[in-house]
Structure 1
Amino acid sequence: MGINLALNGDITASSYVDPYAPGRAVNGIVSDPTSRWLCAALPGWLCVDLKKSCWVGQWTVNSIGSNAGWPENYCMTSFRLESSLDGTNWTIVDSVTGNTDNICTRVLLRPVCARYFKLWVPGEGGLQVNKSAASVMELELIETDVAVLTSLAIKDKNGSTVTLTPVFHSDTLSYTANVGFDSDQITVIPVASNTTATVTVNEQTLVDGKASVGVNTGSNGVEIKVISAGGNIVTYQVAVTRASSPYLSSVKLAGIRFSGFVKTTYSYNLSTSTLVSTAVTPTTEDPEAVCVITLNGTVYNSSQPIPLSNGMNPINLVVTSKTGVDNRTYVFNINKNI
């Protein structure tokens, strides 16, 4: 383990009893009975701003019991550690209840990367001798060495790079991505910061630096673990949504003899010399997909008469997937000859 990131850090509190200000809980002094934070009311908290995102793998709450002459039952009993990247959205990292140790050290199963860390004390979670009072002599946040990803790329079935949201950053652990209906398989290409680290994708080891993952229509979880030589694990999560079908399975045009429709053929040339209108009746492969029919910018409903002008009439059918992001455009060019 590394240095104590909280030492002499930028710290605030929900409240304090003067002169026992929050800064006394991160000054490194555990032998002076006045070097402690005393909360004015519970629930209460201490918050440390590390000024940048850091990896913490261990934390310690040093109570006033057994320090500077205090009895052993002056230990904190219940508290938890929370983390935040932005100081607004918080995640519970670790919780302690029924504590009887005056030096309570916790090693995290998974290191946590954050800028802000909060020691939160619930009502009646204070000192063993008086649970309505909270006093902490020292809060420690111990930095840990971890291997992280320096880059993460996902390719769809066609080899195109998939957009990650948000943009990839080593310290950001959760992402979303969308792939088209045709991509029933993706390729995940993670690169670790340390060549001695082991990287897995959904528990698969990498082959030539990548892993193939099958994806179903809808949401799919992709978990990338980076395991350092020392055993620390950093886990990245990507929620990949594969779109539902944006294809037509069939289409009928009233009054026009038409056969040979293929769902992956998107342009058709047809002709008529007698019709003044036609009606298009499409059937989508996915009954919940949306099909919009237009001619020269005017929208028509399914089976609604569409007037035909002399010359070329390009009728567009745009099919949009119900789930995810995908669409197909079919064009029926109807040439009306006089």
Structure 2
Amino acid sequence: MGNIALNKTATASGYVAPFTPAKAVDGSATDPRNRWLCSTAPTPSGSVPPSWLCVDLGANYWVNRWVVKQMGLTGWSPSFNMVDYKFQGSLDDLTWFDIDSVTNNSANQTDRTCPARKARYVRVYVTKGLLTNTPFSSIAEFEVYEAPPTPNTLSALTITGNGAAVSTTPAFASTTTSYTASVTYDVASVVVSPTATDQNAVMKVNGNPVPRGGNATVPLNVGSNAVTVVVTPTIGDPQTYTITVTRASSQYLSGFTLKSGRNPVNYTPTFDKNTTQYTSTSSGLTSITITPTTEDPAAVINVGGTTVSSGQPVTLTVSGSTVIPITVTSNIGSVTKKYDLTVN
């Protein structure tokens, strides 16, 4: 990758005309007239305040290499090279952080690779200037190079609920970041297992760190649940994958009663929402009134072909041995549970 500081806007703590900051980023490092030169006046105590040369890269970059070409490269004596200086970065030109530093320099050129940091503004921050005259700072050319990004993608993403695989729409692809999935009311949580393409990337599921090869359990409310997987690469910006998991509402009866006229009618076995087969045996019945109730009052109930609400009775004609189907369809997710009542 090329020098991203080339011909960008340059400023400085000061300069000696005609050696402006722009001359340190114009691509010319052999002509001693093409340089930035700064003179910093000592304080009354004799100390020399730092000087700096700053470049606005125009956008945020991850940078990991910087080059300072000094006066020794232009044919001057190495005694005109700077001694102590730092490579600093900033996202806002207000708050600065150190990226790298050089001390006791005598070389004609600094060309260093360092851990990548994100910055829009970069600068050479000089704490000790030219060896021969420390209040002066001079740079023939300042170069900055972008770090190649590492992948911020997932190579795999699986979801399970109650031990069974939960399919997503669309099927997983590393370049697809938005998915939907549906589960029944019985699935109160899902286990999300992401795998990052970059083995050194940091993964978080709904804000909680997940190690490589690990997983995260996400509780589900009835309805829509947003599950996010954020992948932060070693170098580069994070990427977010989103899975919208819809958990169906309850498709279960909470109970039902039987009557013949005003008289209660028994049935076996004792009601349990997971038991789907029931029998009632009585003599002389020609009709029976069934009053079903559901765990979710908004569920849709169908009793022998008649749609009713929770707690609403329905009377059906019976003769001999009659099987009466009772179906409950969840309000969210349209999941159906079927019960059978056999009336003898």
- TM-score normalised by the shorter chain: which range applies? 0.5 to 0.7
In structure 2, do the counterparts of structure 1 residues 143 and 195 end up closer, same or farther at CA, with 3 Å as the change threshold?
A: closer
Aligned counterpart in structure 2 of residue 223 of structure 1, from 221, 228, 234: 228
Kindly provide the amino acid, as one letter, of the partner of residue 165 in structure 2: T
Q: Shift of residue 275 of structure 1?
A: 0.8
CA distance in 2, matches of 1:143, 1:230: 7
Quick check: 1:279 aligned with 2:284?
no
Other-structure match for 1:187: 191
2:290 matches 1:315: no
Q: How does 1:230-309 map to 2 (within 5 A)?
A: 230-255=235-260, 256-258=265-267, 260-294=270-304, 298-299=305-306, 301=308, 302-309=312-319
Query: What is the deviation of 1:327?
Result: 2.8
- CA distance in 2: counterparts of 1:288 and 1:322, whole angstroms: 6
Question: What amino acid sits opposite 1:283 in the alignment?
Answer: T
Give RMSD over aligned pairs: 2.9
SS in 1 for 2:164: coil
Q: CA deviation at 1:202?
A: 0.9
- Partners of 1:185 and 1:230 lie apart in 2 by 33
* 1:209 paired residue number: 214
Q: What TM-score do you get using the length of structure 1 for normalisation? A: 0.53
The answer on whether the counterparts of 1:300 and 1:306 sit within 8 Å (CA) in structure 2 is no
Residue identity opposite 1:289 in structure 2: A
The separation in 1 between residues aligned to 2:241 and 2:148, in whole angstroms, is 20
**Equivalences, count:** 201
Q: Which runs of 5+ in 2 are unaligned?
A: 3-55, 63-146
Residue pair 1:146, 1:233 contacting (<8 A) in 2 also = no
CA pair 106-155 structure 1, distance change in 2 beyond 3 A: same
Asked if 2 retains the 8 angstrom alpha-carbon contact of 1:250 and 1:261, the reply is yes
Residue 69 of structure 1 is matched in structure 2 by none
Q: Which amino acid aligns with 2:293?
A: T
SS of alignment partner, residue 254 of structure 1:
strand
Measured after TM superposition, the shift of residue 269 of structure 1 is 2.3
* 1:59 counterpart residue number: none
Contact 2:301–2:307 (CA under 8 A) maintained in structure 1: no
Partner Cα distance (2:274, 2:234) in 1 = 49
> For the residues of structure 2 that align with 1:270 and 1:194, how far apart are their CA atoms?
63
Return the alpha-carbon distance in structure 2 between the equivalents of residues 212 and 325 of structure 1. 25
Alignment partner for residue 169 of structure 1, among 165, 168, 173? Answer: 173
| Residue identity matched to 1:327 | T
Matches of 1:176 and 1:143 in 2, distance apart? 33
Residue 304 of structure 1: how far off its partner (Å): 2.8
Asked if structure 2 preserves the Cα contact closer than 8 Å seen for 1:180 and 1:325, the reply is no
Query: What is the Cα deviation at residue 325 of structure 1?
Result: 4.2
Structure 1 residues 191 and 178: alpha-carbon distance in aligned structure 2, compared to 1, 3 A threshold: same
Q: Does the 8 Å CA contact 1:220/1:240 hold for their aligned counterparts?
A: yes
Q: Distance in 2 between matches of 1:331 and 1:107?
A: 66
